[in-house]
């Protein structure tokens, strides 16, 4: 599937390090992946795995104290080497972003129509009436009824679902090539979640926008993703098509995660519990397999000394060799 | 909007009524009245003469009747006659009020024109040398009482350097025969020292408020959204962040206005500036109850108006505050 | 064991000059629930449906507009509000956010010991013994007794919250979104733990959640709440295999796909439900949009519907 598609963004050896008490710690550690044309690429992981830091790095939204290494190649240019002004012009125009919390993501003092218009003013030379028309078109596109009324509303006057549609309209305003959605439905009710996911997916298909969907929810992944990367402690531990991940998960972490959510298979059974806790940023052991200490019932020889993300099947990548020996039943018994 | 203002004005009425009762009867409780003064000045005054004075000021009537008489007069704009100056309190206050108002407004202008830029820039360059200098300035203005700064200013700029006048609100000869522009010039010349004293000392709160708000708003999600839109840092700062940061300031602005008037007592006394603050102090010393009552009432109205102004400002700048 | 009869909680919307009550929000509107001993009752609904208010009313954290709450046949509506009422030993609550619900100034020991000090006259020795027992029960080692909440992970904090709720040996637990704020792997741990405790202490749960998967896993009986009312109530099978109310169907259809192969099926189901919603809304809600009263359609299954024969 991936062979006949064009690479839209190619991320190589990307690291994002935060400064804590004078030292830098990598929250994103050597991440490499390609984002294909028009695909829905999900990045899934628990809090603290670095998925949001990765999203902000691609958008260039970290402040200056954050050290970013590696390259983000887009249209034959490395975004990471660009100066601030060049980078700014790409944001909102080529790359749009959808945030988690639609209420706080909007300026409380500005009418929502104006907030959408702001993007058009930055990146286009449209006349005022053209911009107003474009705003109304965008509201149509994100499925907002009574658009003439809604443009004049303030964020607090709209429901959570409507606000998120406004945030999506802002991200879409300049027909970007890439959309990064960071937990776009986490703050919403389930019935709204389904609608918003569908909307993001439909817009992707319609405009052939490559979308990176950041989430902690495997259900959201199962619903819309084409390809999935699973992150743990700053690294991608497994990456493959949606079917690879759900039907043939290989990395112990992916297998464990899938087993720990309540579903129709484990009803009335004990849920699988991953031993230990997610290490905090300063406490990540950066030598060897980062998941090793959370695997029980296996000896350390199953891990690689310097684990690499390898393509084990076509398009299916797994980090470390421990997947070959890992037996979840054995890990649970101990 | 006008409905909201009207409704708020209606709520003020019962509050004013209560204030009038409290003000009247507390100043009633102050010892001394003109008949006693007369007695002190002329120990040989006859009972009849004393009775006559008491009659003139309605002092012979029971307190409740005196209150209704006073209230009726006040509603008509007649605050009674001063014991010491023997003229209408309203007329006496009018002159001083203008002076105090002029001083208050000038110090407000000084306060904002110093406070806002210091607050805005110290927040923008948080942690810089400039920011730390402003912090030091804040400690200074917070810890120096107005009478100390006032006396220092008076001594240095008034007496030692002789740049500014040391008392009064206008040059008497200009007051008598100057043109309008000369009058204004003289007034400004006289107001500068007291206004700076009051203004500089009030900058602390505004700087702190603004700085905290801006720093808080800098980290807000909508700022991230604006960046994700590709907005330039300057516009993000000047429109998104500043607009949200000025919001809480507008809510205390009304109280600043009353604060300026209330705080004028000390400044005006130090600079012998003929405003209501100094007048108020004098009136208390002279046991001139009608003046004290009139001034306290005036300050109360100002406070109520100040809170009304604040409310109107909040409602007009923050769409989240609902009027009904 | 616990019965809620015709509970209504109305929140006034105030405004105007004299702060008059302009209108009321019916957070809970004439709601009745019966929970049997040893049962785990799942109360499910979206934000604003009144499920949290219901839970808080049971433990006396809310003003009740009307209705009554019975515990083992005794009315506790007013007694539960009194601070030292013995009934408080029997009914405890676990909150959503394990961080803000624990006092950050107190150590684990103090937090777990607090209910013991509030009720009954226990000696320091007894309290110590009980605290140790409870913390070991929730899988926290003895050397952590004098740590503060911020030194624990999210899952541990939630388990401390559970330990505190269980120290007095309560029989009834109200758990309000107890696992919603937790990461997947920690959530699994807490769910398992709550199940284990239920077996061990014969606890009765009122489990309030928006997550149907979690409720399905933990509960034996489910009540679906919408607009302050129960719109459908039944066993897990009744609700999941034979949903009747349009809102239940809407919720079920909104659950994210479990496996990518189900996508088409789920999307089709959602479309059907949306269509059905338009066609049959009047059978479930009256003209003012209020859900009808519950009607029994089988011994275990009740639906809020206009006429039973509409089923």
Instruction: Say whether C15 and B11 touch across the interface (CB within 8 A).
Output: no
CB-CB neighbors (< 8 A) of C217 in chain A: 262, 266-268, 271
Q: Identify from C140, C184, C258, C262 which residue to disrupt to test chain A contact, counting A C-beta atoms within 10 A and taking the largest count.
A: C184
Average pLDDT, chain A: 91
User: Would you say residue B319 has pLDDT above 90?
Assistant: no
What is the spatial distance between Cα C125 and Cα C141, in angstroms, rounded to a whole number? Answer: 19
Q: What is the pLDDT of residue C260?
A: 92
B227 touches chain A (CB under 8 A): yes
* Closest-CA residue to B204 (of B125, B266, B146, B159): B146
The predicted-structure confidence for B17-39, as pLDDT tens digits, reads as follows: 888 888 888 877 776 666 666 66
DSSP string, B154-178: IIIIIIIS--S-SS-SS-HHHHHH-
Domain with CATH 1.10.3720.10 in chain B: 89-317
For chain A, which residues make up each domain, given as ranges?
7-94+174-333, 102-173
Query: What is the phi/psi pair of residue C15, to 5°?
Result: 180, -175
User: Would you say residue B255 has pLDDT above 90?
Assistant: no
Which of A189, A246, A277 lies closest to C259 in CB terms?
Answer: A246
- By mean pLDDT, which of A180-184, B197-201, B221-225, C70-74 is the weakest? B197-201
| Alpha carbon distances (Å) from B19 to B25, B72, B296 | 10, 15, 9
Q: Identify from C13, C14, C17 which residue to disrupt to test chain B contact, counting B C-beta atoms within 10 A and taking the largest count.
A: C17
The CATH number assigned to the domain with range B89-317 reads: 1.10.3720.10
Which whole number is the average pLDDT over B160-171?
77
Instruction: Say whether C17 and B10 touch across the interface (CB within 8 A).
Output: yes
Which whole number is the average pLDDT over B181-200?
81
C188 touches chain A (CB under 8 A): yes
CB-CB neighbors (< 8 A) of C17 in chain B: 7, 10-11
The predicted-structure confidence for A268-313, as pLDDT tens digits, reads as follows: 788 888 887 788 888 888 888 999 888 888 888 888 888 989 999 9
Q: Which residue of A has its CA nearest to C270?
A: A194
Instruction: Say whether C217 and A216 touch across the interface (CB within 8 A).
Output: no
Which whole number is the average pLDDT over C256-267?
91
Beta-carbon contacts of residue B111 (< 8 Å; ≥ 6 apart):
B198, B199, B200, B202, B203, B206, B256
What is the spatial distance between Cα A319 and Cα A329, in angstroms, rounded to a whole number? Answer: 21
C299 touches chain B (CB under 8 A): no
Instruction: Say whether A219 and C260 touch across the interface (CB within 8 A).
Output: no
- By mean pLDDT, which of A121-135, A252-266, B55-69, C244-258 is the weakest? B55-69
Instruction: Say whether B10 and C16 touch across the interface (CB within 8 A).
Output: no
Give the 3-state secondary structure of residue A18: strand
B224 touches chain C (CB under 8 A): no
Q: What is the pLDDT of residue A312?
A: 92
What is the spatial distance between Cα B95 and Cα C247, in angstroms, rounded to a whole number? Answer: 72
The predicted-structure confidence for C152-191, as pLDDT tens digits, reads as follows: 877 788 888 888 888 888 899 999 988 887 788 778 888 8
Letter string b/e over residues C30-54, b meaning 16 or more CB atoms within 10 A of that residue's CB: bbebebeeebbbbbbbbeebbbbbb
B324 touches chain C (CB under 8 A): yes
Chain A neighbors (3+ CB pairs < 8 Å): B, C
Q: What is the pLDDT of residue B322?
A: 65
- Report the gap between the CA of C14 and the closest CA in chain B (Å): 10
User: Would you say residue C128 has pLDDT above 80?
Assistant: yes
What is the spatial distance between Cα C158 and Cα A295, in angstroms, rounded to a whole number? Answer: 23
B165 in Cβ contact with B158 (< 8 Å): yes
Q: How confident is the model at residue C227 (pLDDT cuts 50, 70, 90)?
A: very high
Q: Which residue of A has its CA nearest to C240?
A: A264
- Report the gap between the CA of B221 and the closest CA in chain C (Å): 20
User: Would you say residue B323 has pLDDT above 60?
Assistant: no
Q: What is the pLDDT of residue A107?
A: 94
B231 touches chain A (CB under 8 A): yes
CB-CB neighbors (< 8 A) of B322 in chain C: 15
- Report the gap between the CA of A59 and the closest CA in chain B (Å): 7
What is the spatial distance between Cα B22 and Cα A291, in angstroms, rounded to a whole number? Answer: 74
Instruction: Say whether C15 and B7 touch across the interface (CB within 8 A).
Output: no
Instruction: Say whether C17 and B324 touch across the interface (CB within 8 A).
Output: no
What is the spatial distance between Cα C280 and Cα C284, in angstroms, rounded to a whole number? Answer: 7
Half-sphere exposure of residue C150: CA atoms within 13 angstroms, side-chain side: 2
DSSP alpha helix (H) spans, B61-88: 63-75
* Closest-CA residue to A185 (of A159, A155, A202, A160): A160
Q: How confident is the model at residue B292 (pLDDT cuts 50, 70, 90)?
A: confident
> What's the token pair of residue A211?
């979308």
pTM above 0.80, yes or no: yes
- By mean pLDDT, which of B115-124, B191-200, B259-268 is the weakest? B259-268
Q: What is the pLDDT of residue A1?
A: 46
Instruction: Say whether A218 and C184 touch across the interface (CB within 8 A).
Output: yes
Average pLDDT, chain C: 87
Which of A88, A107, A171 lies closest to B222 in CB terms?
Answer: A107
| Alpha carbon distances (Å) from B295 to B289, B298, B302, C261 | 10, 5, 10, 81
In CATH, which of 3.40.640.10, 3.20.80.10, 3.40.50.300, 3.90.230.10 is domain A7-94+174-333? 3.40.50.300
Q: What is the pLDDT of residue C16?
A: 55
Which H or E run contains C173?
strand C172-176
What is the spatial distance between Cα C124 and Cα C113, in angstroms, rounded to a whole number? Answer: 10
Question: How would you class A326 by CB atoms within 10 Å of its CB: exposed for 0-12, middle for 13-18, buried for 19 or more?
Answer: buried
Which whole number is the average pLDDT over C140-144?
81
B286 in Cβ contact with A121 (< 8 Å): no
B6 touches chain C (CB under 8 A): no
Q: Which residue of A has its CA nearest to C154?
A: A277
User: Would you say residue B143 has pLDDT above 80?
Assistant: yes
Q: What is the pLDDT of residue B223?
A: 94
Neighbours of B41 (CB within 10 A): 8
Beta-carbon contacts of residue A289 (< 8 Å; ≥ 6 apart):
A303, A304, A307, A319, A320, A322
User: Would you say residue A101 has pLDDT above 50?
Assistant: yes
End-to-end distance of chain C based on CA atoms, in angstroms?
30
> What's the token pair of residue B38?
């007369």
A180 in Cβ contact with A91 (< 8 Å): no
Q: How confident is the model at residue A234 (pLDDT cuts 50, 70, 90)?
A: very high
User: Would you say residue A325 has pLDDT above 90?
Assistant: no
C151 touches chain A (CB under 8 A): no
B7 touches chain C (CB under 8 A): yes
Average pLDDT, chain B: 81
User: Would you say residue A150 has pLDDT above 80?
Assistant: yes
- By mean pLDDT, which of A12-21, B148-157, B251-260 is the weakest? B251-260
C257 touches chain A (CB under 8 A): yes
What is the spatial distance between Cα C115 and Cα C117, in angstroms, rounded to a whole number? Answer: 5
Q: What is the pLDDT of residue C103?
A: 84
User: Would you say residue A334 has pLDDT above 60?
Assistant: no
Neighbours of C289 (CB within 10 A): 8
Which whole number is the average pLDDT over A227-237?
95
* Closest-CA residue to A171 (of A114, A205, A127, A120): A120
The predicted-structure confidence for A157-196, as pLDDT tens digits, reads as follows: 998 889 999 999 999 999 999 999 999 998 888 888 999 9
Which whole number is the average pLDDT over B79-86?
73
A77 in Cβ contact with A129 (< 8 Å): no
Among positive and negative, which fits the CA dihedral B6, B11, B16, B21? positive
Instruction: Say whether A118 and B243 touch across the interface (CB within 8 A).
Output: no
A267 in Cβ contact with C217 (< 8 Å): yes
The predicted-structure confidence for C195-221, as pLDDT tens digits, reads as follows: 888 888 889 999 999 999 999 999 999
Which whole number is the average pLDDT over A256-262?
90
Q: How confident is the model at residue C20 (pLDDT cuts 50, 70, 90)?
A: low
User: How much of chain A exceeds pLDDT 90, in percent?
Assistant: 68
Reported in sequence order, the residue ranges of chain A that DSSP labels E, i.e. its strands, are: 7-20, 23-36, 40-44, 67-74, 77-78, 95-98, 178-182, 210-215, 227-232, 235-241, 309-313, 316-319
Letter string b/e over residues B73-92, b meaning 16 or more CB atoms within 10 A of that residue's CB: bbeeeebbbbbbeeebbbeb
Q: What is the pLDDT of residue A2?
A: 46
For residues C63 and C81, the model is more confident at C63
């Amino acid at each position: 599937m991936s062979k006949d598609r064009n690479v839209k963004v190619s991320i190589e050896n990307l690291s994002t390090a935060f400064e804590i008490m004078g030292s830098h710690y990598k929250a994103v550690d050597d991440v490499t992946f390609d984002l294909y044309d028009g695909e829905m690429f999900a990045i899934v992981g628990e809090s603290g795995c670095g998925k949001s830091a990765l999203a902000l790095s691609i958008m260039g939204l970290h402040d200056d104290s954050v050290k970013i290494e590696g390259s983000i190649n887009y249209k034959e240019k490395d975004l990471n080497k660009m100066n601030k002004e060049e980078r700014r012009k790409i944001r909102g125009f080529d790359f749009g972003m959808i945030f988690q919390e639609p209420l706080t993501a909007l300026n409380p003092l500005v009418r929502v129509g104006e907030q959408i218009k702001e993007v058009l003013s930055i990146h286009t030379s449209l006349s005022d009436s053209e911009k107003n028309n474009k705003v109304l078109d965008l509201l149509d596109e994100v499925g907002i009824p009574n658009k003439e009324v809604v443009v004049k509303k303030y964020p607090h006057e709209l429901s959570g679902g409507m606000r998120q549609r406004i945030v999506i309209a802002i991200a879409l305003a300049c027909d970007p090539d890439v959309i990064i959605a960071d937990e776009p439905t986490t703050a919403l009710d389930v019935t709204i979640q389904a609608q918003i996911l569908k909307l993001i997916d439909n817009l992707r298909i319609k405009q052939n926008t490559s979308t990176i969907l950041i989430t902690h929810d495997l259900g959201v992944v199962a619903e819309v993703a084409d390809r999935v990367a699973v992150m743990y402690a700053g690294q991608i531990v497994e990456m493959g098509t949606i079917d690879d991940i759900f039907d043939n998960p290989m990395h112990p972490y992916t297998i464990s995660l899938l087993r720990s959510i309540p579903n129709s298979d484990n009803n009335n059974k004990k849920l699988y519990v991953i031993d230990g806790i997610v290490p905090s940023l300063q406490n990540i052991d950066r030598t060897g397999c980062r998941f090793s200490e959370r695997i029980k019932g296996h000896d350390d020889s199953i891990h690689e000394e310097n684990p690499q993300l390898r393509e084990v099947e076509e398009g299916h990548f797994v980090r470390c060799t421990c997947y070959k020996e890992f037996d979840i039943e054995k890990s649970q018994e101990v | 909007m006008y409905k909201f203002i009207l409704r708020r004005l209606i709520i003020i009425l019962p509050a004013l009524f209560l204030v009038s009762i409290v003000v009247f009867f507390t100043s009633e409780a102050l010892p001394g009245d003109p008949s006693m003064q007369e007695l002190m000045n002329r120990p040989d005054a006859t009972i009849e003469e004393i009775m006559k004075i008491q009659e003139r000021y309605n002092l012979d009537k029971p307190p409740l009747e005196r209150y209704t008489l006073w209230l009726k007069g006040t509603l008509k704009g007649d605050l009674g006659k001063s014991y010491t100056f023997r003229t209408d309190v309203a007329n006496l206050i009018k002159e001083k009020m203008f002076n105090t108002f002029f001083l208050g407004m000038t110090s407000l202008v000084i306060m904002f024109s110093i406070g806002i830029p210091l607050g805005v820039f110290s927040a923008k360059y948080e942690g810089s040398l400039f920011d730390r200098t402003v912090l030091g300035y804040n400690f200074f203005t917070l810890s120096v009482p107005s009478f100390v700064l006032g006396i220092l200013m008076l001594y240095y700029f008034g007496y030692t350097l002789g740049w500014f006048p040391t008392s009064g609100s206008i040059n008497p000869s200009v007051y008598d025969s100057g043109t309008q522009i000369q009058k204004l010039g003289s007034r400004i010349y006289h107001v500068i020292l007291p206004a700076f004293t009051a203004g500089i000392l009030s900058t602390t709160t505004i700087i702190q408020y603004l700085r905290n708000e801006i720093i808080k708003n800098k980290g807000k999600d909508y700022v991230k959204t604006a960046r994700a839109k590709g907005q330039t840092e300057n516009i993000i700062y000047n429109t998104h962040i500043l607009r949200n940061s000025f919001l809480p300031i507008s809510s205390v602005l009304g109280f600043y206005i009353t604060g300026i008037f209330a705080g004028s007592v000390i400044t005006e006394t130090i600079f012998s500036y003929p405003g209501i603050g100094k007048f108020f102090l004098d009136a208390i010393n002279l046991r001139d109850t009608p003046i004290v009552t009139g001034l306290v009432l005036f300050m109360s109205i100002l406070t109520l108006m100040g809170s009304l102004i604040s409310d109107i400002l909040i409602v007009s700048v923050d769409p989240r505050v609902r009027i009904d | 064991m616990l019965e809620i009869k015709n509970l209504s909680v109305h929140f006034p919307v105030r405004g105007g000059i004299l702060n008059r009550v302009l209108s009321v929000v019916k957070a809970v509107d004439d709601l009745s629930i019966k929970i049997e001993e040893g049962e785990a009752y799942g109360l499910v609904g979206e934000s604003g449906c009144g499920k949290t208010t219901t839970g808080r009313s049971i433990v006396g954290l809310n003003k009740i507009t009307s209705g009554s709450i019975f515990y083992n046949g005794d009315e506790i509506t007013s007694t539960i509000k009194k601070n030292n009422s013995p009934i408080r030993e029997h009914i405890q609550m676990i909150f959503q956010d394990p961080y803000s619900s624990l006092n950050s100034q107190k150590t684990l020991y103090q937090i777990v010991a607090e209910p013991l000090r509030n009720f009954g006259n226990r000696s320091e020795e007894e309290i110590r013994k009980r605290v140790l027992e409870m913390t070991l029960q929730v899988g926290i080692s003895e050397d952590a007794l004098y740590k503060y909440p911020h030194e624990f992970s999210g899952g541990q904090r939630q388990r401390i919250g559970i330990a505190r709720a269980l120290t007095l040996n309560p029989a009834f637990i109200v758990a309000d979104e107890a696992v919603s704020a937790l990461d997947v792997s920690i959530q699994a741990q807490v769910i398992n733990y709550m199940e284990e405790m239920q077996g061990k202490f014969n606890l009765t749960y009122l489990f309030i959640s928006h997550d149907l998967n979690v409720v399905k896993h933990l509960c034996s009986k489910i009540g679906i709440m919408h607009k302050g009312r129960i719109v459908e109530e039944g066993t897990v099978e009744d609700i999941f295999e034979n949903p009747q109310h349009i809102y239940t169907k809407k919720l079920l259809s909104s659950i994210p796909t479990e496996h990518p192969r189900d996508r088409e099926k789920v999307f089709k189901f959602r479309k059907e439900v949306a269509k059905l919603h338009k066609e049959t809304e009047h059978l479930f809600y009256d003209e003012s949009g209020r859900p009808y009263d519950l009607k029994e359609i089988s011994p275990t299954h009740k639906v809020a519907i206009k006429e039973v024969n509409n089923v």
